Amino acid sequence: MNNILECNNLTKVFGSKKALNNISFTIPRGKIVGLLGPNGSGKSTFIKLCNELLTATSGNLLISGHKPGVATKKIVSYLPEKTYLNDWMKVSQMVEFFEDFYDDFNPTTAYDMLSKLNINPKDKLKTMSKGTKEKVQLILVMSREAELYLLDEPIGGVDPAARDYILDTILNNYNENATIIISTHLISDIEKILDYIIFIKDGEVVMTKEVDEIREETGKSIDLLFREVFKC
């Protein structure tokens, strides 16, 4: 199976609002994909559908051939937009927690990254800044040897220097068969590492394309193209 993710006519309606309107695309294995769109375009809704935190109104979504559920949670590593970790826990306790939870979690990788970012495993989450918390969470997520990583706004709250480190972390910790989907509107920071983009607007997919193809055809950066496509 070459595609890690397939969705067909996927629709999600909240009351009278269509958060996702009949979207269809496939994502191959071994790619880094940018899910890009302005605020409220449906990025997080899509990611939540992939994690079964929401269920689709109609249409279908398959991850490695399975509907979102227990089977997909084993192979999908998800970074939510909000922290869900317990404030009173120490980093080392969370590492244990993840180790218990996921078969594919590698604690050595986690400790290695923590020490590179000068995060003390004995610190409690409560005592950390927002940016540091985000780093811890990303480290936990990237320490799994998953087939699909879904990162919802992974770099929103951290400073530019840490952003570079985080992007390097993402690059260094994914293997060639894994796919990473990164949702963000901070395009200029991430566009150099993307293979592929999905532009999404008002719940509809407006473009899916290889990034170097876009640069070749338009002579524009993805950031600039985004500003044009989504001009207010």
Partner 1 sequence: MTWDLESDRPIYAQLVDQIELKICSGTYPLGSKLPSVRDLAKEASVNPNTMQRALAKLEDDGLLYTNRTSGRYVTEDYNMVQQLKNKIAQEHIQFFLNKMTDLGFERNEILSILSTMVKKEDTKNE
Residues 151 to 190 in contact with partner 1, rule: CB under 8 A: 164, 167-168, 171-172, 176, 188
193 binds partner 1 (CB under 8 A): yes
216 binds partner 1 (CB under 8 A): yes
Nearer CB in complex with partner 1: 133/163: 163
Write the DSSP symbol of residue 185: S
The gap between the terminal CA atoms of the chain, to the nearest Å, is: 40
228 binds partner 1 (CB under 8 A): no
Bridge partners, 95 (sequence order) = none
Helix residue ranges, H only, 102-206? 107-116, 130-142, 160-172, 187-190
| Least distance from partner 1 to the Cβ atom of residue 121, Å | 25
Q: What is the dihedral of CA 166, 31, 190, 140, to 10 degrees?
A: -20
Check if the beta carbon of residue 32 is closer than 8 Å to that of residue 49: no
| Least distance from partner 1 to the Cβ atom of residue 164, Å | 7
Bridge partners, 25 (sequence order) = 7
Nearer CB in complex with partner 1: 141/225: 225
Residues at the site binding partner 1, with contacts judged by CB under 8 A: 30-32, 164, 167-168, 171-172, 176, 188, 191-195, 211-213, 215-216, 219-224
